[in-house]
């Protein structure tokens, strides 16, 4: 149990550090997302091969529509998140992205036929107030920060779609479904990058390639392996609590290493968003295994 807890904490710290790497990679967010998906899916394929886990193709076919939907959304979710990092601070991008549970909660009555209760409304209003404090305290380069926050919220909305698609997956192991999602993400992003960018990654020097490979291998392959190897030992609510090491560590690392500063109002806004998102995680959370593949 102790090893599983350490693995989960380490996975969250790795996820939390991704913004530090993405901000220093001098190519487009779409190119970063494509590279991450390709390297990440290859890493998970190796894991499946080494663990000698047979793929249940019958279950894959049954879940194919949901895997396709979530895989396609996954890619553009990363693209918007990485663009958010490039436009605003890591703190603003991370907190915007962590509005995803709020979007899930708002969409659940329509898609999952769940009731919108008073606590859910309260958490939604709290998150909206938090975003108001963050956007309102943009300071210098307000338009730049506003665009970054908008990209972060767009990424959150797309990630909410991934979460909702994942709720319909049946009979698949987490590492198995994530491998296929990342593989589909690669296929979905490839034509987009070919048409709008290029595959030559001309601006990257040796250090850029090291950062890009790190994002693919460490922040995707290794982090997912640590995450999936540990979540089977904990209940969903415990995983939800540990998952908030990700945004908190991201903000702290950005402050310490990049000297990013937050105003008092932004700190209040961040606490409101994280508190609201955590509250959403606990509403109706009874399953033993979390179906998130966070991927920041």
> Each residue of 239-265: pLDDT tens digit?
777 888 888 899 899 989 988 887 888
| pLDDT score of 284 | 55
| pLDDT score of 90 | 93
- Token pair recorded at residue 266: 């932004």
pLDDT tens per residue, range 139-148: 555 668 889 9
pLDDT tens per residue, range 185-217: 999 999 999 888 766 776 678 888 999 999 999
Quote the pTM value: 0.85
Query: Is the confidence at residue 123, as pLDDT, over 80?
Result: yes
| pLDDT score of 231 | 74
Mean pLDDT over residues 225-232, rounded?
A: 79
| pLDDT score of 203 | 64
Task: Share the mean pLDDT of the chain.
Answer: 84
Length of the chain: 296
């Amino acid at each position: 149990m102790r090893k599983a807890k350490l693995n989960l904490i380490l996975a969250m710290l790795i996820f939390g550090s991704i913004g530090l790497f993405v901000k220093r990679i001098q190519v487009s967010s779409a190119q970063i997302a494509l590279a991450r998906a390709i390297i990440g899916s290859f890493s998970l394929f190796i894991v499946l091969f080494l663990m000698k886990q047979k793929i249940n193709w019958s279950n894959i076919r049954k879940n194919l529509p949901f895997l396709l939907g979530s895989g396609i959304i996954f890619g553009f979710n990363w693209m918007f998140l990485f663009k958010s990092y490039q436009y605003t601070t890591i703190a603003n991008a991370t907190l915007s992205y962590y509005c995803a549970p709020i979007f899930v909660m708002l969409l659940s009555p329509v898609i999952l036929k769940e009731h919108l209760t008073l606590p859910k409304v309260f958490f939604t209003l709290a998150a909206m107030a938090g975003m108001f404090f963050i956007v309102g305290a943009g300071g210098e380069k307000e338009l730049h920060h506003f665009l970054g926050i908008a990209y972060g919220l767009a990424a959150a909305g797309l990630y909410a779609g991934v979460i909702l698609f994942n709720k319909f997956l049946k009979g698949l192991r987490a590492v198995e479904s994530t491998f296929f999602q990342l593989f589909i993400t690669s296929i979905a992003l490839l034509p987009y990058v070919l048409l709008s960018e290029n595959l030559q990654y001309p601006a990257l020097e040796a250090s850029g390639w090291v950062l890009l490979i790190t994002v693919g291998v460490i922040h995707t392959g290794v982090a997912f392996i640590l995450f999936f190897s540990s979540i089977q030992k904990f209940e969903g609510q415990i995983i939800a609590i540990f998952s908030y090491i990700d945004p908190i560590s991201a903000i702290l690392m950005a402050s310490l290493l990049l000297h990013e500063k937050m105003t008092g109002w932004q700190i209040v806004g961040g606490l409101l968003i994280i508190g609201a998102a955590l509250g959403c995680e606990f509403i109706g959370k009874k399953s033993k295994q979390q179906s998130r593949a966070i991927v920041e």
